[in-house]
């Protein structure tokens, strides 16, 4: 999408926001109008005072009165400038907060397939630098544009109509050249600003990846290489920011040269008119003061163009993310039936670009209170099945139903409240152990949190931590071992009120004894809550041996099904894998 096509979109968005907050913008505009009126009144009044002093008709109290008026005007201007800043920037900050909230909400609704095509660093940059640029376009650019334009028109009117039109026209001769220079600078500034924002996203991405994988980098001896890469990206980001600032700074010399030429012409023409007694010295003094007041409108023009170009560049990156179609829909309105039997009918799914389906014709059902085991070699489609169950992706064929209701007909909030999912690589937040467990049910009491931890066989480990349940686990649970993180995640799932518990290879990082303890606790829990169903996906077959039904997946298809005893009797993949794992366990025990 080109910058030209993005500019109207940014303009429409800002126009809609201004209409919504018209009181704030209107109040700021009224204050700026008063400031502009007083600003152009001051030079004219100074001119009158100068002429009166030259004529000898202004002395004593009258002179003090005139000076007091000028001081009062300056004080009023100061107060009004404070007032418009409070009104205008408060509204602009609301736009920034709204855009960040909208961005977060949009990203929260996207499925995993969307994030596979995005970089975390870019998304973080959008929420910071890019939205800041749009926010400045709504605040500082709007202010400078309105105030500068208004001041320019009033000053030009006073110069040409209030003093002398010939002098005014002569002083404006250099300004078309400045307009041409502004246009040329803005073209380069837009590209430089966009490049600067992109480089900042690259730098963010490197920081995020390096910090997330810092232990791996150190273990592989790649920390120096990562540091060198970071330095390279930081240098590129700094160079891009410098180029952007260099083009932005180019406005100032254009303004300075234009005003310098205008002053030279004004003094030359004005001196000639004074010599011919066609204007007074006071009028020439007032004119030069007005010409000095053109500094702000000219600088404001450059400032506005710089802010708008940065805003346009940011909007070019931000708008596609805000308007990106959702990879998942949430249009379900059906209520969850009381008898929520989970059923899969001919389920088929193929990843984009793949030559063969990851799942093909998968059928199964699990009634409330029952346990389903799913096993198979790596790449058999086990985790893909969970993704479809959680509606992280949509099947190409077949369907999944709960109580006869297709999953897309259920609101996502209802579906996800029904399922407690423990992934193979659980995510823990930078908070206490207790807070991480209670995430599923924030109102849980400490006793309930501890009971869930005992069921997940992690209570003893937590008790040995420096502060027990109050111990901060660090970002992503870095202070805990892999097995401890998995068991904390299992405790979190057990504490929830969800009717379906999905363990997606969640016991892979625990030893066989701990696995047995957790499974025993799950069986005990079924007597307390008989309606809770459990899906256990595992590589170790001991984790599913007591399931009511076990599915064996191979290349996305169900090749074996039955109970543990029935599958052993088939003498297929399950039986051979069971014998292999039993021999392996006996060797480890020896």
- Nearest residue to 39 via CA among 316, 303, 289: 289
> What pLDDT score was predicted for residue 216?
65
Q: Is the pLDDT of residue 210 over 70?
A: no
Helix (H) or strand (E) holding 513: helix 512-528
CATH class held by domain 3-322:
mainly alpha
**CATH 3.40.50.300 domain position(s) in the chain:** 342-428+482-589
Q: Kindly report the CA angle at 44 between 41 and 48, in degrees rounded to 5?
A: 130
Q: 3.40.50.300, 2.60.120.680, 3.90.1150.10, 3.50.50.60: which CATH number matches 342-428+482-589?
A: 3.40.50.300
pLDDT of residue 478: 63
Query: What pLDDT is attached to residue 8?
Result: 46
Residue 308 has pLDDT above 50, yes or no: yes
* pTM as predicted: 0.66
Instruction: Indicate the range of 48-57, 189-198, 347-356, 383-392 predicted with least confidence.
Output: 48-57
Residues 6+ apart with CB under 8 A from 35: 77, 80, 81, 84, 147
**What are the distances in angstroms from CA 318 to CA 50, 86, 152?**
55, 27, 33
Q: What is the pLDDT of residues 373-421, one digit of tens each?
A: 999 888 888 888 988 998 888 888 889 998 888 888 888 888 888 888 8
pLDDT beyond 50 at 223: yes
pLDDT of residue 461: 86
Stretch(es) of the chain classified as CATH 1.20.1560.10: 3-322
Q: Say which residue, 564 or 416, is predicted with more confidence.
A: 564
Instruction: For residue 398, give the 3-state DSSP assignment.
Output: strand
Q: What percent of the chain has pLDDT over 90?
A: 8
Q: Which two tokens stand for residue 338?
A: 């009381």
In this prediction, residues 423-431 reach a mean pLDDT of 81
Nearest 5°: CA angle at 295, between 294 and 297? 65
Q: How far is 447 from 510, CA to CA, in rounded Å?
A: 24
Please report which confidence band the pLDDT of residue 561 belongs to, taking 50, 70 and 90 as the band edges. Answer: very high
In sequence order, the β-bridge partners of residue 345 are: 399
Q: pLDDT band for position 349 (50/70/90)?
A: very high
Q: Mean pLDDT across the chain, nearest whole number?
A: 80
- The pLDDT-based confidence of 298 (bands split at 50, 70, 90) is confident
Better pLDDT: 422 or 156: 422
CA separation for the pair 92, 575 (Å, rounded): 67
The conformation of residue 424, written as its DSSP 8-state character, comes to S
The pLDDT assigned to 6 comes to 42
Q: Residue 348: is its pLDDT beyond 90? A: yes
Task: Copy the structure tokens of residue 581.
Answer: 């794992």
**Residue 296 and residue 36 in contact, taking contact as beta carbons nearer than 8 Å:** no
57 alpha carbon, distance to own chain's centre: 66
Pick the most confident of 11-20, 245-254, 379-388: 379-388
DSSP state letter for 353 = T
Element (H, E) at 374: strand 371-376
Q: Sheet containing 533-537: which strands, arranged edge to edge?
A: 419-422, 500-504, 533-537, 371-376, 549-554, 557-562
How does pLDDT run across 88-110, given as a tens digit for each residue? 777 778 888 888 888 888 887 77
Residues forming beta bridges with residue 504, ordered by sequence position: 537
Q: Rounded to whole angstroms, how far apart are CA atoms 69 and 443?
A: 65
* Alpha-carbon radius of gyration of the chain: 36
Mean pLDDT of 487-504: 86
DSSP labels for 83-148? Answer: HHHHHHHHHHHHHHHHHHHHHHHHHHHS-HHHHHTS-HHHHHHIIIIIHHHHHHHHTHHHHHHHHH
Tell me what pLDDT residue 39 has.
75
């Amino acid at each position: 999408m080109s910058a030209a096509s993005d500019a109207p979109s940014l303009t429409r968005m800002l126009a809609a926001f201004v209409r919504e907050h018209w009181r704030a913008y209107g109040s700021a505009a009224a204050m700026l109008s008063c400031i502009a009126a007083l600003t152009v009144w001051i030079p004219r009044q100074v001119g009158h005072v100068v002429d009166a002093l030259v004529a000898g008709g202004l002395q004593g109290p009258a002179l003090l009165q005139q000076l007091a008026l000028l001081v009062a005007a300056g004080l009023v201007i100061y107060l009004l400038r404070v007032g418009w800043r409070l009104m205008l920037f408060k509204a602009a900050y609301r736009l920034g907060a709204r855009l960040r909230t909208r961005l977060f909400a949009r990203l929260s609704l996207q499925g995993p397939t969307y994030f596979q095509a995005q970089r975390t660093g870019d998304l973080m940059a959008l929420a910071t630098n890019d939205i800041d640029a749009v926010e400045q376009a709504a605040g500082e650019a709007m202010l400078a544009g309105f105030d500068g334009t208004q001041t320019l028109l009033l000053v030009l009117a006073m110069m040409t109509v209030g003093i002398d039109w010939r002098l005014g026209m002569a002083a404006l001769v250099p300004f078309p050249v400045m307009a041409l220079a502004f246009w040329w600078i803005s073209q380069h500034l837009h590209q430089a600003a966009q490049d600067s924002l992109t480089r900042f996203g690259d730098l963010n991405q490197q920081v995020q990846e390096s910090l997330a994988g810092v232990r791996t980098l150190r273990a592989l001896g790649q920390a120096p290489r990562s540091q060198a890469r970071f330095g390279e990206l930081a240098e590129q980001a700094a160079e891009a920011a410098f180029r952007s600032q260099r083009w932005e700074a180019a406005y100032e010399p254009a303004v300075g040269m234009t005003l310098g030429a205008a002053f030279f012409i004004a003094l030359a023409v004005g001196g000639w008119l004074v010599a011919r007694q066609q204007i007074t010295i006071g009028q020439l003094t007032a004119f030069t003061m007005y010409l000095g007041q053109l500094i702000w409108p000219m600088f404001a023009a450059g400032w506005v163009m710089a802010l708008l170009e940065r805003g346009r560049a940011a909007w070019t990156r931000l708008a596609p993310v805000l308007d990106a179609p959702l990879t998942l829909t949430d249009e379900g309105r059906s209520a969850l039936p009381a008898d929520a039997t989970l059923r899969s009918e001919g389920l088929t799914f193929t990843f984009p670009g793949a030559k063969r389906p990851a799942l093909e014709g998968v059928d199964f059902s699990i009634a409330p209170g029952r346990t389903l085991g799913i096993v198979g070699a790596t790449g058999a489609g086990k985790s893909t099945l969970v993704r479809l169950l959680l509606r992280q992706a949509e099947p190409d064929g077949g369907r999944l139903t709960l109580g006869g209701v297709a999953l897309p007909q259920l609101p996502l909030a209802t579906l996800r409240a029904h399922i407690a999912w423990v992934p193979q690589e659980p995510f823990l937040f930078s908070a206490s152990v207790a807070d991480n467990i209670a995430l599923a049910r924030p109102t849980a009491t400490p006793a309930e949190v501890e009971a869930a931890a005992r069921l997940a066989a992690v209570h003893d480990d937590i008790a040995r931590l420096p502060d027990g349940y109050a111990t901060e686990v660090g970002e992503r649970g870095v202070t805990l071992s892999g097995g401890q993180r998995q068991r904390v995640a299992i405790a979190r799932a057990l504490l929830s009120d969800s009717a379906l518990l999905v363990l997606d290879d969640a016991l892979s990082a625990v030893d066989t004894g701990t696995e047995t303890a957790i499974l025993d606790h799950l069986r005990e829990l079924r007597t307390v809550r008989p309606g809770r169903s459990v899906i256990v996906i595992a590589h170790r077959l001991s984790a599913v041996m007591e399931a009511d039904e076990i599915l064996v997946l191979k290349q996305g298809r169900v090749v074996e099904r039955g109970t543990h005893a029935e599958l052993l009797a088939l003498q297929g993949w399950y039986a051979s894998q069971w014998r292999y794992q039993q021999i392996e366990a006996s060797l480890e025990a020896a």
